[in-house]
C-alpha cells in the first residue's frame, strides 16, 4: 500500500493503519447503533416521513391517509375499521365532572376505556388511574392505586379516578418540541401519533400523570379491536409514541357520551358542553361545590371533582 499524505504532513504506514482501524471501528459502531432502524421499515413509508403537520393537511389528503390507516388496520388485525377525522363542533367546549360521593372505586371505567380506545393489553396501558384515598385527606401521596379488596368501597376510604384533565393551560402542549400535541377548539388536547417523536417531554410535564408511552408495539388481538376509530382518537398507535385520554373523540365529537361515563355503574361521571347552560356539567358547575386537582399548578383543568349528598 502506498504511503498516503495529508496536508498537515506525512503519515507513516503505522499511523495510517491505526487511524483506519479507528475509523472502521467507528463506522461499524455507527452501523450497529443505527441497525434497529431497520425494524421501522414496515412502519414508516416515505410518504409518512414526508407528510405535513395535521393542521396543514388538506381534506383530500386526509381521505388518502384514512384509507391507508383502514387498510393497515385490516391487514394487521383482520378487522375493517371505520376511521374518521372528526373535527370539534362549533360552540362546544367539553367538561367532565366526577362525583366523589358516588364513585365506589370499582375500576369499571378503567377497563371500559381500554376496550373502547384500543389500548395495548400487554404491556398494559390505561388512561384512568383510580386512587384509593384515606378519608379526611386530599394527599395523593397517601393514596394507593393497586388496592384489591373483596368488595369496594372499603370502610374509611374514598376513591378518586384520575385521567387527562384536559387543561386550559396544558403543560404537555407547551413542552412538545414538534407540536405533535395541541389543544383543540372543543377543549380536548389531542395527539397526532404519526407526528409524535416519542421524546416523552409531555409525559414528564403532566402533573396528573395522564400520558402513557408505548415502549413496545401495542399488543391487541382481533377481538380486542374497537372498529369505530378516529384519527386523533383511538386508532391503533405505533411503538414509540405517547397517548392519553382524548375524551373518546370517536364518540363525543359524534354527540355520544364517553365510554367511561356509560360504563360507570354508579353514575359518578358527568360529561357535556359547558357552553350550553342547560347541560349537566353547566348545572353541576353552578350548583355543586366543585374543585380541580392540583389547582396550584395553574393548569386550569376542564375536569371537576365534587362531593354531594
Partner 1 sequence: MNSGRAGVIFVVGFLVLAVTLAMDWWAFPYEISEVAPADSSAAGISTVRTSAAELVRLDGDTSMLACYSCHEADDPPELQLDADGRILMEEHSFDFELRHGASHRNENCFQCHEQSNLEMLRKVDGTLIPITEGNVLCGGCHGTTYRDWESGLHGRVSGYWNADLGPQRKEDCTACHNAHSPAFPSLKPWRAPQPFRPQRGEAGDSTEVHEDA
Which residues in 11-30 contact ligand SF4 (CB under 6 A)? none
Choose among ligand SF4, partner 1, none what residue 144 binds, the Cβ cut-off being 5 to 8 Å by kind: partner 1
233 versus 258: smaller Cβ distance to ligand SF4: 258
Binding residues for partner 1 restricted to 67-96, rule: CB under 8 A = 89
d(CA 39, CA 179): 25
Least distance between ligand SF4 and beta carbon 235 (Å): 24
Question: Which residues, 6 or more positions from 77, have their beta carbon under 8 angstroms from its beta carbon?
Answer: 220, 221, 222, 225, 236
d(CA 166, CA 299): 9
**Which of 127, 159, 201, 306 forms a contact with ligand SF4 (CB under 6 A)?**
159
How many residues touch partner 1 (CB under 8 A)?
76
d(CA 44, CA 50): 10
Least distance between partner 1 and beta carbon 198 (Å): 14
Report whether 293 contacts 164 (CB < 8 A).
no
* Residue 133: all three cell numbers together: 384515598
Write out the DSSP string of 190-221: EE-TTT-----HHHHH-TT---EE-SSPPP--
Binding residues for partner 1 restricted to 101-140, rule: CB under 8 A = 102, 104-112, 114-116, 121-124, 126, 129, 132, 134, 137
The piece of 101-109, 136-144, 189-197, 212-220 that touches ligand SF4 (CB under 6 A) is: 101-109
* Phi and psi based region of residue 232 (left: phi greater than 0; alpha: psi -120 to 50; beta: remaining): alpha
Least distance between ligand SF4 and beta carbon 107 (Å): 5
Residue with cell 432502524: 37
d(CA 172, CA 167): 9
Q: Does 95 bind ligand SF4 (CB under 6 A)?
A: no
Binding residues for ligand SF4 restricted to 248-267, rule: CB under 6 A = 264, 266
Question: Which residues, 6 or more positions from 264, have their beta carbon under 8 angstroms from its beta carbon?
Answer: 103, 108, 109
Choose among partner 1, ligand SF4, none what residue 153 binds, the Cβ cut-off being 5 to 8 Å by kind: partner 1
Binding residues for ligand SF4 restricted to 196-225, rule: CB under 6 A = none
Binding site for ligand SF4 (CB under 6 A): 103-109, 130, 159, 161, 264, 266, 268-269
Amino acid at each position: 500500500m502506498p504511503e498516503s499524505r495529508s496536508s498537515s504532513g506525512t503519515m507513516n504506514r503505522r499511523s495510517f493503519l491505526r487511524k483506519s482501524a479507528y475509523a472502521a471501528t467507528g463506522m461499524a459502531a455507527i452501523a450497529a447503533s443505527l441497525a434497529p432502524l431497520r425494524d421501522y421499515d414496515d412502519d414508516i413509508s416515505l410518504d409518512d416521513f414526508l407528510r405535513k403537520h395535521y393542521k396543514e393537511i388538506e381534506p383530500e389528503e386526509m381521505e388518502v391517509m384514512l384509507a391507508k390507516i383502514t387498510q393497515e388496520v385490516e391487514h394487521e388485525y383482520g378487522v375493517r375499521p371505520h376511521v374518521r377525522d372528526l373535527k370539534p363542533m362549533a360552540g362546544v367546549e367539553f367538561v367532565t365532572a366526577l362525583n366523589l360521593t358516588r364513585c365506589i372505586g370499582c375500576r369499571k371505567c378503567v377497563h371500559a376505556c381500554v376496550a373502547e380506545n384500543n389500548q395495548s393489553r400487554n404491556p398494559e396501558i390505561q388512561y384512568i388511574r383510580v386512587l384509593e384515598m384515606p378519608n379526611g385527606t386530599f394527599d395523593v401521596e397517601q393514596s394507593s392505586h393497586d388496592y384489591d379488596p373483596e368488595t369496594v368501597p372499603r370502610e374509611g376510604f374514598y376513591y378518586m379516578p384520575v385521567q387527562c384533565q384536559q387543561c386550559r393551560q396544558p403543560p404537555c402542549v407547551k413542552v412538545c418540541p414538534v407540536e405533535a400535541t395541541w389543544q383543540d377548539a372543543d377543549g380536548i388536547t389531542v395527539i397526532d401519533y404519526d407526528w409524535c417523536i416519542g421524546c416523552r417531554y409531555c409525559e414528564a410535564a403532566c402533573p396528573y400523570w395522564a400520558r402513557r408511552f408505548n415502549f413496545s408495539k401495542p399488543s391487541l388481538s382481533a377481538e380486542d379491536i374497537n372498529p369505530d376509530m378516529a384519527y386523533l382518537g383511538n386508532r391503533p398507535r405505533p411503538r414509540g409514541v405517547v397517548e392519553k385520554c382524548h375524551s373518546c373523540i370517536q364518540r363525543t365529537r359524534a354527540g355520544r357520551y364517553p365510554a367511561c361515563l356509560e360504563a360507570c355503574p354508579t353514575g359518578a361521571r358527568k360529561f357535556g358542553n359547558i357552553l350550553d347552560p342547560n347541560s349537566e356539567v353547566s348545572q353541576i358547575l353552578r350548583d355543586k361545590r366543585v374543585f380541580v386537582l392540583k389547582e396550584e399548578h395553574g393548569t386550569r383543568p376542564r375536569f371537576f371533582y365534587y362531593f354531594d349528598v
